[in-house]
Amino acid sequence: MTPDDTRRDVRTDNLWKIYQQASEEVRAVRDVTLTIQPGEFTALAGPSGSGKTTLLNLIGGLTRPTRGQVRVGDHELSTLPNHELARLRLEQIGFIFQAYNLLPVLTARENAEFPMLLQGVSSEERTRRVDELFARTGMNGLEDRRPGKLSGGQQQRVAVIRAVASRPALVLADEPTANLDSASSDALLELMDELNRDLGVTFVFATHDARVMDRARRLVRMVDGAIDSDETRP
Amino acid sequence: MQISVIVALALRNLRRQVRRTLLTALAIILGAGMLVFANALGDGTHEQWIDDGVRAGSGHVTIEHPAFRVSRKLEDRLAADVRAAAEGALATPALADRITGVSAQLTINGMASSAAGARPAKILAVDPQAEMDFTILDEQVIEGRYLQSDDRLAAFVGVGLMETLNLRLGSRLVLTAQDADKEIAGQLVRVVGVFRNGAPPVDNAVVHIPLAVAGEWLGSGSDVSNIAVMVEDSTEVSSLVRDLRQALADPLDAGLATVLSWREAMPALASLVAVDQYGNYVIFGVLFIIIALGIVNTVLMSVLHRHREFGVLQALGLTPRQTGAVVLIEGLLLTTLSTLVGVGLSTWLTWYFLGDGFDMAVIAGDSLANNMDMGSVVIDPIIVPMFSVARTLQTLGWIMLMGILASIYPAFRAARIDVAESMKFDR
C-alpha cells in the first residue's frame, strides 16, 4: 500500500480545544501547530492531562476544535459535517485505543473485517487481507474467538489489524501499550513498526510509555496542552 | 453500508443479553398473542351476539314496508308484487351466492287464549321449511316438534305461554288479531311443539304458525311483513344491502319497501356491540402501552450500557444516523420476531377453539348459561373465535409500528453520543 504522499499529510494550525468544566475553563489543547508527513512514526508524549489524547481526537475528527484548523489531506475537519467526518474516518483513518475497544459480539476475524465491511470491500479481499495480517501477527488459529476469550495483547493485536486492514493513510493510537505487559508491548510495537515501514502507514501515538518513545522516529512532547518540544530522530 | 451488517450486528447484540432479551420477547409474545386472541374472541363474541340477535329478529338484512318497523301493523306489509320482486332479486346468482337463508315472515301482534286464560302473543307466520334455516327455536324444542311444510292449524309455542295457558301437546289454542279489513278475527290452532329459549319475552309470547294459515285467517293472502335474509357473517352485510338497494330501486323509490341492515333494524344490539368494541380497544391500548414500555426498557438499557461501543462504531466510520439505525433495527427485530411468535401461538389457539368454540360457562359457571340474555335475545355462552387475516395483519402492523416508535428515543440517544467522551478510558 502506498498512499498518495502529497495529499495525506496531517496539519494543525493554531489549534485550540477548550472545555467548560463546571465554572472552570479547561484549555486541553493550546495553540498547537503541527505537520505530520506521510509515513511518519510519531509519538505525542507527556504526562496525564497534557492534551495528547485530545489532540489525537481532534486529528481523528472525534471532537471538534474550539479554534484553529485540522487538515487531513485535502480535508479541513472543523468544517466537515458529521456524516463526512465519519466517511473520512472510514476511508483514511484507523484507530487503536488503550482499552482495545473490540466489538464484543463479533469474533476476532469479524472485528478485523468490520471497517472493510463498511467500506464495501469484497468478501474475498477481506479474507485475503485479514489472513495475511493474522499470519503476520502470529494470531493464526484465534480468528474465531470472541474478544472475551483473548488476552489483552491478543486483543490489541486484533485492534491493530482492524486499524490497518482497511488501508488507511493514518493510524491514531491512544496509549496502545498501557494495558500490556512488557513482552506484549514490545511485540506490538515491533508489529506497528513493521507495518509502518512495509505499508507506509503513518502512525501517531499518544503515550507516556518510554518504550514507545524510544521507538518513535519523531517525538513531540506536550505540556499543559501545548507543544513543549519536537524532536526528529534518524 | 450493507444493511446486512447492521442487521447482523443487531442480532448479535440481542443475543448478548439473552435473559433481558428473552424477558422482553416473552412480554411481547404474550402481549401480541393476547391481542390477536382477544381480538378473535371479541369478534367471535360480537358475531355470536349478532347471529343470535338477527336469528331472533329480522335477519342480517330485512326487506320490509317503510312504516312497519315503527307501527308493527298488519296493514304495513309488503305487497305481493314487491315480495315477488325482492325474492326475484335474492334469487339472482350475484346475490344468492352470498346468502345462507331467506325467510318471509308475517308478524302479528295479537292474543293467545285457552280455557285457562288469555295472554298477549307475538305471532310469527312463517314458511316452516325456510324458517328452519333461519331460526334457532327449532333447536330448542322441549316437547313435540317444530312446524312442518304440510302442517295445517299447527302452532309452535314458548314454554312460558304453554304453562300460563295450561297447554299440552295437541291442546287447542285460539289466536286473535286484527285482520286485513281491520276486523277482529280468531283462529283455532293446535300445539304441535314447545320450545324453551331462555329469554322470558320469547318464551312467554312467541307463537309460530304456518304462513298459509295466517293468510287465510287474516285475509292477507301470501303477503308478508318482511323478508329476512341471513349471510355467512356480518362483514358481508353492507355490500348486500347496497346491492339489494340497487336491485330494488323502483319499489324503494316508490316508498313501498325499504332495505335495512341489522344495525338499522336493531340499533340497541348495534350499540351494545359498539360499546363492547370500544371497551376492547381500551384494553388493547393498555396492552400496547405495556408492550411499548417493555421495548423501550430493553432497548434503552442496552443503549445506556453500550456508550463506549457506539463510540467505537462511530470512530470506525459509522455515521450518527447509521448508529441510530443499529438501535432501531435491534428494536424492530426484537418486536417483529416476538410478535410473529405471539401471533403464531394465538393463531394456533384460535384454530384450536374454532371447532367447538370457547365455553364462557366454564369460566363463569352454569349461572352464565342461564342468564346471558339481552332483552329478547339469548346469547349462546359458547363463543367461536373469529379469525381474520386482515385483523391479524393489522395487529402485526400496529405492534411493529409501536416497536419502531419505542426504539426512536434510544436510537436518538445512540446517534447523539459524544464519541470522544464515550471512549474515555476508565482510569
DSSP states of B50-63:
HHHHHHHTTBSEEE
- Please report, for residues A8, A228, B270, B296, the alpha-carbon distance to residue B233 in angstroms, rounded to integers and kept in the order given: 74, 87, 15, 40
Please give the interface size between A and B, counted as residue pairs whose CB atoms are below 8 Å apart.
79
| pLDDT tens profile B267-288 | 888 898 899 889 988 988 888 8
| Contact residues, chain A to chain B, C-beta under 8 Å | 54, 57, 60, 62-63, 82-83, 86-87, 89-91, 95, 97-99, 101, 103-106, 114-115, 117-120, 162, 174-175, 178
**How confident is the model over B334-352, as pLDDT tens digits?**
889 999 999 999 999 888 8
Interchain contact, B9 vs A83, CB within 8 Å: no
For residue B308, is pLDDT > 80? yes
Taking the C-alpha atoms of residue B51 and residue B231, their distance in angstroms, rounded to an integer, is 10
What pLDDT score was predicted for residue B32?
87
Question: Least CB-CB distance to B317: which of A63, A86, A104?
Answer: A86
For residue B1, the distance in angstroms to the closest alpha carbon of chain A comes to 5
> What does the pLDDT read at residue A1?
36
- Using a pLDDT cut of 70, give the percent of chain B over it: 94
- Is residue B10 very low, low, confident or very high in pLDDT (cuts 50, 70, 90)? confident
Which candidate from B312, B419, B425 shows the least CB-CB separation from A103? Answer: B312
What is the model's pLDDT at position B69? 87
- The pLDDT of B406-410, averaged and rounded, is 88
Q: What is the reported pLDDT for B248? A: 92
- Architecture label for domain A35-45+81-232: 3-Layer(aba) Sandwich (3.40)
Mean pLDDT of A77-81: 90
Task: Choose the weakest-confidence range: A139-153, B61-75, B300-314.
Answer: B300-314
Neighbour tally for A197: CB within 10 Å: 11
- Per-residue pLDDT tens digits for A195-214: 898 888 899 999 988 999 99
- Rounded to an integer, the average pLDDT of B167-176 is 94
Pairing of strands B154-158, B184-195: parallel
Comparing B27-31, B109-113, B167-171, the range with the smallest average pLDDT is B27-31
**Rounded distance between C-alpha atoms, residue A98 and residue A34, angstroms:** 23
Residue B380 DSSP code: P
Whether the Cβ atoms of residue B106 and residue B214 lie closer than 8 Å to each other:
yes
User: Are A99 and B423 an interchain contact pair (Cβ–Cβ within 8 Å)?
Assistant: yes
Query: Which among B241, B272, B273, B271 has a CA at the least distance from the CA of B258?
Result: B241
A6 pLDDT above the threshold of 70:
no
pLDDT at B307: 85
Residue of A nearest to B2 (CA): A118
A99: closest chain B residue by CA: B425
Q: Which pairing describes strands B358-359 and B154-158: parallel, antiparallel, or unpaired?
A: unpaired
3-class state of residue B167 by DSSP? coil
Measured CA to CA, the distance from residue A67 to residue B89 in angstroms comes to 86
B378-391 pLDDT per residue, tens: 667 778 888 888 88
Residue A106 with chain B: CB contacts under 8 Å: 9, 12
Mutation for A interface: B6, B11, B312, most A CBs within 10 A: B312
pLDDT of residue A188: 83
pLDDT of A5 over the 50 cut: no
> A33: part of which helix (H) or strand (E)?
strand A24-36
Of B1, B2, B423, the CB nearest to A101: B423
Strand pairing category for B172-178 and B184-195: antiparallel
Q: To the nearest whole angstrom, how far is the Cα of A230 from the nearest Cα of chain B?
A: 25
Residue B38 clears pLDDT 70, i.e. is over it: yes
- Under the banding of pLDDT at 50, 70 and 90, the label for residue A20 is confident
Is the CB of A101 less than 8 angstroms away from the CB of B420?
Answer: no
Look over chain B and give the mean of its residue pLDDT values, rounded to a whole number: 87
Residues of A in Cβ contact (< 8 Å) with B309: 101, 103-104
Averaged pLDDT of chain A: 89
Closest partner CB to B315 (pick from A87, A89, A106): A89
State the pLDDT at residue B260: 94
Contact state of A105 with B2 under an 8 Å Cβ cutoff: no
A82-91, A134-143, B39-48, B353-362, range with the lowest pLDDT: B353-362
The predicted structure's pLDDT at residue A29: 95
What's the pTM? 0.70
| Burial classification of residue B11, based on how many CB atoms lie within 10 Å of its CB (0-12 exposed, 13-18 middle, 19 or more buried) | middle
DSSP type of residue A208:
-
Q: Where are the domains of chain A?
A: 35-45+81-232
Per DSSP bridges, beta strands B99-114 and B358-359 are unpaired
Q: What pairs with residue B259 in β-bridges?
A: B63
Let me know how many helices (H) and strands (E) chain A has, helices first. Answer: 7, 10
Q: A173 pairs with which residues across the strands?
A: A96, A205
The verdict on a CB contact (< 8 Å) between A62 and B312 is no
Top pLDDT among A70 and B355 is at A70
Poorest-pLDDT segment among A181-185, B29-33, B98-102, B371-375: B371-375
